[in-house]
Amino acid sequence: MERWSINDSAKIYNLPNWGADLFSINKKGNVCVHPSPTSKHSIDLRALVDDLIKRKIKPPILLRFMDVLQGRIAAINRVFRNAIEENDYPAKYQTFYPIKVNQQRQVVEAIAKFGKRYNIGLEVGSKPELVIGISFATGNGIPIICNGYKDTEYIETVLYATKIGYDITIVVEKMFELEKIIALSRKTGIKPKLGIRVKLSSKGTGKWATSGGEDAKFGLRMSEIIAAIGLLEQNDLLDRVKLIHFHIGSQITKIDKIKSALIEGTRVYAEMRKLGVGIEYVDIGGGLGVDYDGSKSSYFSSVNYSIEEYANDVIYQIKNICEDAGVECPNIISESGRATAAHYSVLVTNLLNTNTANVMPDFEETLNGAEKLAPTVKKLVDIYKSIDRYSLREDYHDTVQLIQEAVSLFNLGYLTLNERAMAEWLHGKILRKINGIVEKIKPIPEELQNFQLSLRQTYFANFSLFQSIPDSWAIDQLFPIVPIQRLNQKPDVMASIADITCDSDGEITSFVGENGRTKYLPLHKIRKDEDYFVGFFLIGAYQEILGDMHNLFGDTNAVHVTFNKKTGYKVDTVINGDATWESLKYVQYKGPEILKHVRDNLEKDVALRKVTIEESSHFLELLDRTLLGYTYLGE
């Protein structure tokens, strides 16, 4: 058997490059999670999942590692602290967590609690998020920044929050919003703490590039900023402008785009200061990207910079521009969401064991000439026996042609079903033999790389792509997917991953591989009675809240885990996923009503003796159990 080590596995899934030193493979061949990049401690994911299943928590299970979340907050604050020291920057840095990235109560709670030491703030973009922000700020003094479109109710709530002592900044996104804010401020007599969002001509890159540039949805153009200054001055509110904000998009893949935005945004700050606006904060928005595929490139699932480089550039550029302009350096705020939350959650689920090899017909006897074969089948046998690396290309072409011939002959009635099945079986065998040869040829010729795709097998994973990783479907976002066990064994199948929704779009055919994006995921042949799990990594940002209920697959079970020196790990919270009745409730069905309706009808059939009492009650029992059960597949 070919030698295979855990290092080989780490390489083919590119784990060291996207794992940010938070994920590794242990000697048993299982994936481990570390609380922080420097930590010797780790949790064996497979052992954890086995323990959770013993606790009757069924897959798919969303694992939330709170230490990892805290570690990311600490890391972002650390790199900014270092950059401030290195550049001798004379002001402060502060993170504001954008709630939209993951609004789950326990997540925001953990961020608010742990973030206290960093004076972390919360960024909100709607009225529901404002309510969340206020609930966390109450009694804790957490500062809030309000972005997004705002109506009277939103603005009035912020004004009164300001009056009763909350540290809350309302960011003007549009001119009409400013007029509304001024009118309400006059009406209530309350002066808000104001921010102005600037529409930069600088643009980001990737899928969210249109968040920046002249056509961006939000922000004031330069002429509008001049108008806003005049309007605020007339209304005695100019001294309330404390912040300028810009955001050129999420997942900015190129550092030079970030630098351009920093230069332009800081120039606006400097000029506004010169006009006498007492701005104290420059809020650089989100955009700090995550290297999902580990390629360290400007490809849209990656980034060509590290968080250290990001922080250094932010501090350096802002200081440089301010010194040149002769204005005071501002305090700096970043609203890094993705970079804070992506790493902390992992979805683990089982692959369906579809191994039916024991019931499939075995045509092995065709190979030793035991049967009289149809000429097409005979030619396939000959190819299988003689193929080697020198005849590879020709034999491959012949095989493709022969298999087409077999289909035509079958349609014309010249091949029996059994003969066509033999041809199909031989075709698979030849392709696998070719692959064995191809794998030893480096580099693999392009035509034969595509050939490998024909060997790709579909594995079914017990999850909904639309619920758990919607960006994989919507924007072709790559998320690392890795089997969490047997990584000390060579994977022998090239797979794609299909989910259990009835949608052919619910399939993943692009994966993170050794050299960037690959078209198949290496997996192991699942043994009879084996439970085989895969993990979907870096899914903590945006996925949970964007997820939808295609086929009414609801929220998955979620488990919050913390590291524990003595016991390895501790389960802090288990949040049950949606039961079927809960999924149905979203679309206005009521479980008890359905049960009553079915029961009433069955009673009629019982009266007519079409159905027995036992059959009726057994069916109702099954229906009731289904309503109470998990929406995903059980045994």
Closest-CB residue for ligand PLP?
286
Q: How far is the CB of 148 from ligand PLP (least distance, A)?
A: 8
**Using the rule CB under 6 A, which residue among 77, 102, 250, 583 binds ligand PLP?**
250
Whole-angstrom Cα distance, residue 62 to residue 85? 39
**Interface residue with ligand PLP, options 75, 101, 374, 392 (CB under 6 A):** 101
CA 430/CA 395 separation, integer angstroms: 9
Establish if 535 lies at the interface with ligand PLP (CB under 6 A): no
The 10 Å Cβ neighbour count of residue 278 is 12
Number of residues that bind ligand PLP (CB under 6 A): 17
Stretch that binds ligand PLP, among 52-60, 331-339, 530-538, 564-572 (CB under 6 A): 331-339
Sign of CA dihedral 240, 243, 249, 250: negative
Block residue for tokens 């600490």: 74
Shortest Cβ 466–ligand PLP spacing (Å): 21
Within 10 angstroms of residue 391's Cβ, the number of other Cβ atoms is 13
Spatial CB neighbours of 561, under 8 Å, sequence gap ≥ 6: 43, 48, 63, 64, 65, 66, 569, 570, 571, 572
Is residue 337 a contact residue for ligand PLP (CB under 6 A)? yes
Nearer to ligand PLP, 46 or 150 (CB): 150
Comparing CB distances to ligand PLP, the nearer of 293 and 335 is 335
The residue with tokens 């351009």 is 260
Q: Of 147 and 366, which CB lies nearer to ligand PLP in the complex structure?
A: 147
Distances (CA, A) of 49 to 35, 44, 76, 481: 17, 9, 30, 16
Of 17, 30, 70, 147, the one binding ligand PLP by CB under 6 A? 147
Q: What share of the chain is helix, strand, coil (3-state, %, to 5)?
A: 45, 15, 40
- Residue pair 303/247 in contact (Cβ under 8 Å)? The answer is no
513 binds ligand PLP (CB under 6 A): no
Amino acid at 614: E
Residue 336 Cβ vs ligand PLP, minimum distance, rounded to whole Å:
4
Radius of gyration for the alpha carbons in the chain, expressed in angstroms and rounded: 30
- The minimum distance between CB 143 and ligand PLP, in angstroms, equals 15
Stretch that binds ligand PLP, among 245-253, 307-315, 406-414, 445-453 (CB under 6 A): 245-253
115-144 positions binding ligand PLP, by CB under 6 A? 123
Least separation in angstroms between residue 130's CB and ligand PLP is 14
Indicate whether 335 belongs to the interface with ligand PLP (CB under 6 A): yes
Range 269-288, binding ligand PLP (CB under 6 A): 285-288
Of 155-163, 243-251, 260-268, 377-385, the window that binds ligand PLP (rule: CB under 6 A) is 243-251
Nearer to ligand PLP, 537 or 569 (CB): 537
The yes or no reply on residue 583 touching ligand PLP (CB under 6 A) is no
Q: Does 265 bind ligand PLP (CB under 6 A)?
A: no
**Segment lying near ligand PLP (by CB under 6 A), choices 65-73, 187-195, 335-343, 413-421:** 335-343
Task: Select the residue interacting with ligand PLP from 338, 420, 524, 560 (CB under 6 A).
Answer: 338
Q: Are the beta carbons of 200 and 257 closer than 8 angstroms?
A: no
CB-count exposure of residue 126 (10 Å: 0-12, 13-18, 19+): middle
**In sequence order, which residues have a C-beta less than 8 Å from that of residue 213 and are 6 or more positions away?**
200, 201, 202, 203, 248
Q: What is the DSSP string of 480-546?
A: -EEESS-TTS---EEEEEE-SSS-TT-EE--EEETTEEES-EEEPPPPTT---EEEE-S--SSHHHH
| Residue 336 sits in the site that holds ligand PLP (CB under 6 A) | yes
Strands of 43-44's sheet, edge to edge?
23-25, 31-33, 43-44
Q: Which residue, 217 or 596, has its beta carbon nearer to ligand PLP?
A: 217
Query: Site residues (CB under 6 A) for ligand PLP?
Result: 98, 101, 123, 147, 247, 250-251, 285-288, 335-339, 541
